[in-house]
Structure 1
Amino acid sequence: MGLHVVSPERSVTLIKGLSVLGFVASRPFGCTIAETAKDVEISRAAARRLLLTFCDMDILRQDQKWFLPTPKLAELAISPIVTEPFWEALRPPMKHVSEKTGEACSMSTLYGQDIVYVARAPSRRVLSVHLEVGSRLPAVHTSMGRVLLSNLVPERLTALINQTELPRRTRFSLSDRQVLLETLCGVASNGYAIVDQELEEDLISVAVPVFAPTGATLAALNFSSTPTRYPSKRLRDTIVPMLEAASKQITDVLRTNQDINSHAIKEIKK
């Protein structure tokens, strides 16, 4: 796993601790101090201190040389945003877009250098890209990814782009980091992103941000089709307003339906 290089303003100990929890969570049958130290790339002494501290907090438990996660570790991760009921309650506006156009409408959130699909209203047509909730795609080559990346603080965005590989998935894919950064600035200014055949040839998509009631960018909403059916101009003129309306409806649902959060937490605790 290893640790990322961080600025002096960050807490390295906290980063190490979270890395340790991530490793133990991936080893439900137990792991040792030596295994943890090797995976997280820290000393055995540091791994031992962190593992024992988490045991004192009942987040982990120790059985001989083995350290195992407890239910409390799962409780720490409970947030409505990680549950299916949270996103499923936001799907009706997406379904409306899909039914009106006959094309797929999806929503995703950013996870490192990827986007993760959290809700989807599929197309009536069969596309070559098979996607479902939980699917991951590289953020830099997707319209939703570019919307989400464009809303990162400049320092974080630059660091992420510098660490991201830019393979040419098609002959249209952006592979120059400076051009990509300039493109993302345009996305931030326009409020939407269009990606034309960069992920896969004969696939075009457009995305807009989905805002939380606080104004933070919660996710991105996307429409995908083929360039023949929906060239860029048609996407801008007809689909962007439709997605923006759906995005506003989703924000309104989040603002008014307080039951989403409580229902989601109940589901994850079952």
Structure 2
Amino acid sequence: MPVNARAPHFVRSFERGLAVIRAFDAEHPARTLSEVARACDLTRAAARRLLLTLADLGYVRSDGRLFRLTPRILELGYAYLSGLDLPRLAAPYLEQLVSLVGESAALCVLEGDEAVCVAQVPARRVMAAAVAVGARFPAHGTAVGRAMLNSLPEAAGAAEYVLLDGDPEDGVTTLAAPVRDRGGQVVAGVSLAVHSGRMSATTVRRELLPRLRAAAAAIEADLRITDPAPDASLGTATHR
């Protein structure tokens, strides 16, 4: 089959419709008919038919000259996101966090009085501080456990983050932030582990906390467009 040939089942109009949707992005949130046609290599007539069809379906709106996507476009990604469990949903954000700060990151959930690691990405260096998936720790003794416990409804006050400075025994400083679902309930915690000799607690707070909180916020944003009542596969936090 030639390189540019399509299989018999291929629906060209569907491909063109998806191309029109992809023509809108952060740099081009609004486009004219001519701009859409040019970006998608379509005639103006074809682009107009596709845009009007998307408008009839509620995915595009127009003020007469400019076309924009509507929030309903999020429905197209809902089925994919709702099928993810929390560790897989969080994985790309953990990987991005590690690439930005160069320290090991982990995602933990509460099971009773324990913090359980359900996903982790180690730093790419020798002697990186990291925990294994499946590892369990007394929640009160860990930064990520405290971040989750302090965010439970019965806690005195929600903590935006918890920092535990390294002690002489393990020499690891940990920084953690809670992750909340659409209803504002804590479902997990994200943490960073840093060897104390490499970075002081003050530096950890100043340089790593904004990145950590951004990662937690990104995970929460994905959770907001998934099932508003996560089941056990999402690692919903429970406490005895």
Superposition TM-score tier, normalisation by shorter sequence: 0.5 to 0.7
Is 2:160 the partner of 1:191? yes
Unaligned regions of 5+ residues in structure 2, if any?
Answer: 1-82, 235-240
1:233 equivalent in structure 2: 202
Q: Secondary structure at the match of 1:205?
A: strand
Aligned-pair identity in percent equals: 26
Q: Secondary structure at the match of 2:123?
A: coil
- Count the aligned residue pairs: 149
1:145 equivalent in structure 2: 145
2:212 equivalent in structure 1: 243
**Alignment check: 8 A CA contact 2:148 2:186 kept:** yes
CA–CA separation in structure 1 for the residues paired with 2:169 and 2:111: 21
Unaligned regions of 5+ residues in structure 1, if any?
Answer: 1-82, 158-184, 266-270
- What letter is aligned with 1:247? A
For the structure 1 residues 196 and 84, does the alpha-carbon distance in structure 2 shift closer, same or farther, using more than 3 Å as the test?
A: farther
CA–CA separation in structure 2 for the residues paired with 1:257 and 1:189: 23
Q: CA deviation at 1:201?
A: 2.3
CA–CA separation in structure 1 for the residues paired with 2:88 and 2:213: 19
**Alignment check: 8 A CA contact 1:103 1:123 kept:** yes
Where is the helix percentage greater, Structure 1 or Structure 2?
1
Q: Secondary structure at the match of 1:89?
A: helix
- What letter is aligned with 1:100? L
CA–CA separation in structure 2 for the residues paired with 1:89 and 1:238: 25
Q: CA deviation at 1:242?
A: 0.7
Q: CA deviation at 1:228?
A: 2.2
Q: CA deviation at 1:84?
A: 8.3
For the structure 1 residues 105 and 130, does the alpha-carbon distance in structure 2 shift closer, same or farther, using more than 3 Å as the test?
A: closer
Aligned pair partner of 1:253 in 198, 222, 231: 222
Q: CA deviation at 1:86?
A: 3.3
| TM-score, length of structure 1 as denominator length | 0.49
Q: Secondary structure at the match of 1:191?
A: coil
Q: CA deviation at 1:213?
A: 1.2
Q: Secondary structure at the match of 1:93?
A: helix
1:94 equivalent in structure 2: 94
| TM-score, length of structure 2 as denominator length | 0.55
- What letter is aligned with 1:122? P
**Alignment check: 8 A CA contact 1:141 1:195 kept:** no
Output one character per residue of 1:120-140: Cα deviation in whole Å (capped at 9) or x when no partner.
111223448662221111212
